[in-house]
Structure 1
């Protein structure tokens, strides 16, 4: 009898969670965003934000590299990362970029760091601010991670003729 109650107790606990998951999934699927008065779905708005952050060339290059294997990850990035999170109003894009620089330095992700350094510059971050972010990360992430981040930042800044 207790075993039966245990099973039913679990079922009672699991069923509401399943409904919650289903309702969140449906809300994500049906989410629309207004940018400059135009209603867009999350994929469209995510692509628009990516275009604004990293440029049309970046987006075209990403599209060119897309295939049947990586298209699910690209869709996730466009819809969730950019279409949902970057589209939120809680903090501005410059601060989001600053956070990304610090996190990508901590995670030692040089390829993504390069892209997000470009985005940070496009979002108004200055050379001095980037330098301070990377110096701060040296204290908390270690010199090897910060040293690599400084090297990548120098390359990006030189390419943009912001550093001699």
Structure 2
């Protein structure tokens, strides 16, 4: 992996949002199969786009949640719900995004979103670490 300022900045942001399970554990446990993808995610997603001026992290989290709902990406949704909570998004806001999604994505997306949110909150309440 190429480590530079964007990479380091991306790793710091991943740590802030997802803890070491979503930062160091992800990049330190790469294989020849996924090492380039982890580098891209760390540098481009979190070192660059997530840190651009123009949108606060709170807003970026809400947008990301909405897009993941629309795409039906429950695994990534679970991860980004935790990241959104770390970015100051509250549970009521997350609930409203899930409910709002039914207008544009359909009831199955809203149901999946609410179920995913509920399971993340239950895991957090039980003190479980979330999957990355």
Large movers: runs of 4+ above 4 Å:
none
Is residue 75 of structure 1 aligned with residue 13 of structure 2?
A: no
Taking the aligned partners of 2:97 and 2:104, their CA distance within structure 1 comes to 11
Is residue 91 of structure 1 aligned with residue 55 of structure 2?
A: yes
Quote the offset at 1:90 in angstroms: 0.9
TM-score by length of 1: 0.71
After TM superposition, the structure 1 = structure 2 runs for residues 37-116 of structure 1, keeping only pairs within 5 Å, are: 41-116=5-80
Quote the offset at 1:100 in angstroms: 0.5
Structure 2: runs of 5 or more not aligned: 127-132
Structure 1: runs of 5 or more not aligned: 1-28, 30-39
After TM superposition, the structure 1 = structure 2 runs for residues 137-148 of structure 1, keeping only pairs within 5 Å, are: 137-148=101-112
Aligned-CA RMSD value:
1.7
Quote the offset at 1:65 in angstroms: 3.5
Which shifted more, 55-64 or 106-115?
Answer: 55-64
Quote the offset at 1:58 in angstroms: 2.3
Higher relative contact order at CA 8 Å, sep ≥6: structure 1 or structure 2?
2
Taking the aligned partners of 2:61 and 2:102, their CA distance within structure 1 comes to 18
Provide Cα deviations, 1:81-136, integer angstroms capped at 9, x if missing partner.
11110111211101000001000000000110000000000111111111001100
Instruction: Name 1:152's counterpart in structure 2.
Output: 116
Greater strand content: 1
- Structure with max Cα Rg: 1
Instruction: Name 2:99's counterpart in structure 1.
Output: 135
- The number of residues matched between the two structures is 124
